[in-house]
Chain A
């Protein structure tokens, strides 16, 4: 692609300092304590998967990182600077509403391009938008509106938008949660491919309730327990480099990790039952 060098946005992966740090963060919604005393650091270029059941506050954690919510206690730093509100330094992909429905896919992207690189002409912005759409496999869809395309295509466009925004940190809130299994697999592979490519690679925090997804995508998996949400385990994922989905899911290490995580969940639930607190999921339990 002729425009590959333009997709880098000046971001360079080789720097490996700390991108995000969460220090003693607690967060309450109304009177309910959602997150309790979270400590977490995310290195530059790292892919961290935050895994937890419904109601563990993983979405709240992501919103805090994005600056869309403010912590009750503790502080959140991005490259050493306190996070005081949303910023284009931290792009977000939501579950199914990252795009403005009144704009076509191209215009949804040009809004971001306009922010990332000021002073470009309209034709140039449109051309860059098309390059990003190509990158996520949406060739020729520029003039379609979000309601005209499938959920999978919307999420592709949402990823393209955050890439176009050029944010060094990408926060993803169950971005594939609403997709059918086939599209989910396709988009997971697309995301991995984009991460590995040096021109688009960046720091990612990816929230999910799917154990396989977390282990397949993440360099490191943070497991959250419920009521209140807190870190119950941190797992360094040992599968390096090119991962084949099939080999990975067959491997003993993978099965072992999966079982360990399930055991952690059960411990957490039993601990709560003993403590007498009610376990309340939104129709899903892991």
Chain B
């Protein structure tokens, strides 16, 4: 029994040493797994499963092309997403705080918001003059709903204490919206923005599979068509990193803006 106790104590100590590095360890384990499986498994078509070394060489070689693709993708993502954030937040605040507008718009939102935005892609491409405009439209629709729904929920549930204070300070309607409802809804708006950004990336890359001649999604599709799997896998990893950095940036901004949330 003493020995058992000693063993658990030793285990605890070992775990403590890794505290804070669990995430790094998992990445390491996955990389080792990838290396081992790609070199040692007797695969029928080894080209489909490139080794880490081959993949990173492909990543390095296609970096100029990927950077160009990133620029092209961001020319779609940024306008579509920003427009969605601005209009979604503003309209959400209006719908969340003005009762008759809520009654008018809510049924439509309930029907339109759950439609998977990917189904708009073919129509948007047919409808709009250029691929870029149609892709911006699709990204906009996809990111708009999460921002709108969260902003409306935030505006509809402004805590009574803020409303009381606004009344005591003699705020008019517009001042109340700008100085109280907007800041009080910001935590919800940022939740919506995170969901919206993830959706925006999905829609961006899917739209690019359909009709782009450059961009991140297009890169992956192009090299898959030519069976250049190292470059394709490199494209997937690169897109993942771009998405991760964008989400981290949003999180950074959120922390700065919502410093007062405790």
Residues of A within 8 A of B (CB): 66-68, 85-88, 90-92, 94, 97-102, 111-112, 115, 145-147, 165
- Would you call B170 and A88 a contact (CB within 8 A)? yes
B241 to chain A, nearest CB (A): 33
Interface string of B153-183 (1 = CB under 8 A from A): 0000000011011011110000000011001
Task: Identify 6 residue pairs between A and B in the complex whose beta-carbon atoms are under 8 Å apart, listed by A's number.
Answer: A66-B167, A86-B167, A94-B164, A97-B165, A101-B262, A115-B170
- Would you call A100 and B162 a contact (CB within 8 A)? yes
- Would you call B260 and A147 a contact (CB within 8 A)? yes
Q: A115 CA to B166 CA in the complex, in Å?
A: 11
- Would you call A115 and B167 a contact (CB within 8 A)? no
Which residues of chain B are within 8 angstroms of A97 by Cβ–Cβ distance?
Answer: 161, 165
Interface string of B220-262 (1 = CB under 8 A from A): 0000000000000000000000000000000000000001111
Interface string of B171-198 (1 = CB under 8 A from A): 0000000011001001000000000000
Which residues of chain A are within 8 angstroms of B162 by Cβ–Cβ distance?
Answer: 100
Q: A112 CA to B162 CA in the complex, in Å?
A: 14
Closest 3 interchain pairs by CB? A86-B167, A97-B161, A88-B170
Residues of B within 8 A of A (CB): 161-162, 164-165, 167-170, 179-180, 183, 186, 259-262
Of B170, B180, B259, B262, the contact of A100 (CB 8 Å cutoff): B180
A82 to chain B, nearest CB (A): 16
- Would you call B260 and A111 a contact (CB within 8 A)? no
B208 to chain A, nearest CB (A): 39
What is the chain A residue whose CB lies nearest that of B262? Answer: A147
Contacts A68-B164, A100-B165, A100-B180 given; does A87 touch B170 at CB 8 Å = yes
Main secondary structure of the interface of A (DSSP, over half): loop
Of residues B162, B164, B259, B261, which shows the largest number of chain A Cβ atoms within 10 Å of its Cβ? B164
- Would you call A102 and B167 a contact (CB within 8 A)? no
- Would you call B183 and A88 a contact (CB within 8 A)? no
Q: A98 CA to B164 CA in the complex, in Å?
A: 9
Of A85, A101, A112, the contact of B169 (CB 8 Å cutoff): A112
- Would you call B260 and A85 a contact (CB within 8 A)? no
Which residues of chain A are within 8 angstroms of B186 by Cβ–Cβ distance?
Answer: 102
Which residues of chain A are within 8 angstroms of B169 by Cβ–Cβ distance?
Answer: 88, 111-112, 115, 165
- Would you call A92 and B168 a contact (CB within 8 A)? yes
What is the chain B residue whose CB lies nearest that of A167? Answer: B168
Of residues B183, B186, B259, B260, which shows the largest number of chain A Cβ atoms within 10 Å of its Cβ? B260
- Would you call A111 and B167 a contact (CB within 8 A)? no
Which residues of chain A are within 8 angstroms of B168 by Cβ–Cβ distance?
Answer: 66, 68, 86, 88, 90-92, 165
Q: A183 CA to B252 CA in the complex, in Å?
A: 37
A91 to chain B, nearest CB (A): 6
Which residues of chain B are within 8 angstroms of A86 by Cβ–Cβ distance?
Answer: 164, 167-168, 170
- Would you call A101 and B260 a contact (CB within 8 A)? yes
Which residues of chain B are within 8 angstroms of A68 by Cβ–Cβ distance?
Answer: 164, 167-168
Which residues of chain B are within 8 angstroms of A115 by Cβ–Cβ distance?
Answer: 169-170
Which residues of chain A are within 8 angstroms of B261 by Cβ–Cβ distance?
Answer: 101
Q: A165 CA to B262 CA in the complex, in Å?
A: 28
Q: What 10 new A-B contacts, CB under 8 Å, besides A86-B168, A111-B169, A165-B168?
A: A86-B164, A86-B170, A88-B169, A88-B170, A94-B161, A100-B165, A101-B262, A115-B169, A146-B260, A165-B169
Q: A98 CA to B161 CA in the complex, in Å?
A: 8
Of residues B165, B180, B186, B262, which shows the largest number of chain A Cβ atoms within 10 Å of its Cβ? B165
Q: A85 CA to B164 CA in the complex, in Å?
A: 11
Of residues B169, B186, B262, which shows the largest number of chain A Cβ atoms within 10 Å of its Cβ? B169
Which residues of chain A are within 8 angstroms of B183 by Cβ–Cβ distance?
Answer: 100, 102
Which residues of chain A are within 8 angstroms of B167 by Cβ–Cβ distance?
Answer: 66-68, 85-86
Which residues of chain A are within 8 angstroms of B260 by Cβ–Cβ distance?
Answer: 101-102, 145-147
Q: A86 CA to B260 CA in the complex, in Å?
A: 27
Q: A97 CA to B162 CA in the complex, in Å?
A: 8
Q: A165 CA to B186 CA in the complex, in Å?
A: 27
- Would you call A98 and B170 a contact (CB within 8 A)? no
